[in-house]
Amino acid sequence: MYKKNLKNEEIKSDKVYLINRLGKYTGLFLLKEALKIASFHQCDLVLFGYKSDFPLCRLMKYSQYLFKQNKKSKEKQKNNMALITKELKLRYTIQVHDYDVRIKQLKAFLFQGHIVKITILLKGREQNHVYLALNFLNKIIKEVATIINLIKKPYRNSKNIVCLLIKKNICHVI
């Protein structure tokens, strides 16, 4: 979340370097003087670090600062949320209606912001006809080409053919 800063009487130093509300360096003050300045301006004296021997403090409304920090951390967490990988397993001998349902499902996963892994399963003699599975996978990719970016091009993975897709406006590199 965020680091708790010491404020006002919690600061255990005789002298502090002071930064005003505009962010300008004001100078070295006794802690009592800095607290008086803070109370005059109706704000808090917040410890941010150390500059040489004395603490570096800033005049600000501490509750407002905490609110902004909390808001930033939530926004950062929201933006850095791990992308979930959803997988669609298909066979290249799928029927038309099942194909349409899977395409609809693929689009739903993409619009939710997930990475989608498409796996074409090859069983028995189907492994001799890899080109049919690749054609089928390319057909799927062409159908949703306007909304996707290929993360990994189709490749063979033992008995399967695999491809990774993501929605176009999401920038993600693996």
What the chain holds in terms of domains, given with CATH numbers, is: 8-74 (3.10.20.80), 85-167 (3.30.110.10)
Ordered per-residue pLDDT tens for the chain, 174 residues: 446 777 787 888 888 888 888 888 888 888 888 888 888 888 888 888 776 788 888 888 888 888 988 888 888 777 665 677 889 999 988 999 999 999 999 999 888 888 899 999 999 888 888 889 899 989 999 988 888 888 888 888 888 899 988 888 755 444
Confidence (pTM): 0.52
Query: What does residue 150 show for φ and ψ, rounded to 5 degrees?
Result: -80, 125
